[in-house]
Amino acid sequence: MSTQDTPTRRADLRSGPHVPPERAALGCRDVTKTFGAVTACDDVSIGIDDGEWVSIVGPNGAGKTTLLNVLNGFYDPDTGGRIFLDGEDVTADRAYKRARKGLGRTFQGLELFDDEDVLENVMTTQAVRERPNLLSALLFYRGGRRLEAENMRRVEEIIDYLELWEYRHDTVASLPLGIQRRVDLARTLALDPDVLLLDEAMSGLTFDEKYDMVRFLADLNENEGLTLVMIEHDLEVVTDVSERMVVLNQGGVVARGNPEDVTNDPEVRNIYTGVD
C-alpha cells in the first residue's frame, strides 16, 4: 500500500473543513438543501481561507451548483445551515447584500444582456453597489459625479485588464463564447469582490481560451489576493491551479485536501471511473 493510500491519509481526506467556517473568508456549516424528495446538498460544511484557490468537483448531479447558489444567496439553506463571509454570519442576507459585502459570482449559463455592448454589460453591476443619497444622485451633485467617474475608471481598467478593449462597443451576441465568458468575469470584477465564485467558467472553451482564463484568474489570485472558489469538470485544469479540492457526490462531501492526494484517492477514482 502506498503512502497516499494509508488509512491515516484516507481519513484525512474525510475530515472536516480546512478552516473553521465561522472564521473563513467564505464558509458554510451544516448546509442541507432539499427540493421535494431530492437532497441536492447533504450536511455540507466547508471553510475557505483568505487568498486560497479551491475547486469544488464531482460528477453531474453532485450538488456543486446548488452549493454555490446557497453560498451566494440565491437559495436559502434548510433549517440549521449557516453561511459565513469574512467571519460574519450572512445566512439571512439576500444575494445583493452578499455582493456588496464582497462575494462575486459568475455563471455556467451566461446571464449577459445579449443586445447590449460589452461596456454596458460590465456597467450593469454598478446598480448593486452602494450609491450616494437619492437627492445627490437625482441632481447629479458633486458626490454623484465623483462616484460615477470612479466607477467608470474602474470598469475601463477591468476591460483593459481582461484584454476586452477591442470589443468594448460590440454587442455581446456577436462575440465568441470565450470572449463572452471574459465579459461575465469583467462584470463580476466590477463589484470589487474579495471572494469570487466561478461556476464552470471554462465550460465550452478551447484550449487557448482556457489558457487565457487561467492566466487572468491566476494573476487575480496571486497578485491581487482574490479568493477563488471554482466549479470545474476539467480535472487537468483543477489539479494544475488549485491549492485544495473538495469532492461532492450525491450532495455530500466525500473528500477534501490537496489535488494530488484527492485525485489518487480510491473512492474519488471510483466516483469518476467506477473502478476502485
Report the DSSP pairing between strands 26-35 and 82-85: antiparallel
Classify residue 260: in a domain, yes or no. Answer: yes
What letter does residue 125 receive in the DSSP assignment? G
Same domain, 228 and 183: no
Report the pLDDT value the prediction gives residue 3, as an integer from 0 to 100.
Answer: 46
- Measured torsion, CA atoms of residues 221, 224, 227, 232, in degrees rounded to the nearest 10: -30
CA 234/CA 55 separation, integer angstroms: 11
Q: What pLDDT is attached to residue 1?
A: 40
Regarding whether 199 and 243 lie in a shared domain, the answer is yes
Final residue of a structural domain among 190, 213, 238 = 190
CATH code at position 254: 3.40.50.300
Which range marks the domain in which residue 98 is found? 3-102+193-273
CA distances from 229 to 88, 175, 197 (A): 18, 26, 5
Residues 159 and 232 in one domain: no
Integer Cα distance of 248 and 252 in angstroms:
5
Rounded to an integer, what distance in angstroms lies between the CA atom of residue 251 and that of residue 10? 20
Same domain, 207 and 181: no
Question: Does residue 110 fall inside a structural domain?
Answer: no
d(Cα 26, Cα 193) in Å, to the nearest integer? 12
Say whether 257 sits in a helix, a strand or coil: strand
Q: What is the pLDDT along the chain (276 residues), one digit of tens a residue?
A: 444 455 555 556 777 788 899 999 999 999 999 999 999 999 999 999 999 999 999 998 999 999 999 999 999 999 999 999 999 999 999 999 999 999 999 988 887 888 999 999 998 876 665 544 555 455 454 444 555 667 778 889 999 999 999 998 999 999 999 999 999 999 999 989 999 999 999 989 999 999 999 999 999 999 999 999 999 888 888 999 999 999 999 999 999 999 999 988 988 888 876 555
Beta-strand relationship, 252-257 and 26-35: unpaired
Residue 215 · residue 209 · CB < 8 Å: no
- Based on the domain organization, do 179 and 200 belong to the same domain? no
pTM: 0.86
Cα–Cα distance measured from residue 221 to residue 226, given in angstroms and rounded to the nearest whole number = 5
The domain tally of the chain equals 2
C-beta of residue 15 within 8 angstroms of C-beta of residue 8: no
Q: Please indicate, yes or no, whether residues 7 and 78 belong to a single structural domain of this protein.
A: yes
Give yes or no: residues 197 and 91 share one domain: yes
Q: How far is CA 161 from the centre of its chain?
A: 19
Same domain, 136 and 56: no
Q: What is the C-alpha separation between 237 and 263, in angstroms, rounded?
A: 13
Do 8 and 78 lie in one domain? The reply is yes
SS3 sequence, 143-212? HHHHHHHHHHHHHHHHHHHCCCHHHCCCEHHHCCHHHHHHHHHHHHHCCCCCEEEEECCCCCCCHHHHHH
**Residue 82 located in a structural domain:** yes
209 in a structural domain:
yes
- 108 assigned to some structural domain: no
Q: What is the pLDDT of residues 148-163, one digit of tens each?
A: 667 778 889 999 999 9
* Residue 111, pLDDT score: 79
Same domain, 14 and 120: no
Q: Domain boundary at 151, 175, 190, which? A: 190
93 part of a folded domain:
yes
Please report where in the chains the cell 481560451 appears, as a residue. Answer: 209
Same-domain status, 138 and 179: yes
Nearest to 80 by CA among 32, 47, 25, 19: 32
Q: Is residue 107 part of a domain?
A: no
DSSP letter for 21, please. Answer: G
Residues 6 or more apart whose Cβ sits within 8 Å of residue 129? 100, 151, 191
Q: Are residues 96 and 127 in the same domain?
A: no
C-alpha dist (Å) from residue 43 to 29, 35, 155: 8, 14, 39
Last residue of a domain, one of 164, 190, 216: 190
- What DSSP designation does 236 have? H
- One-letter amino acid at 6 equals T
Tell me, yes or no, whether 109 lies in a domain.
Answer: no
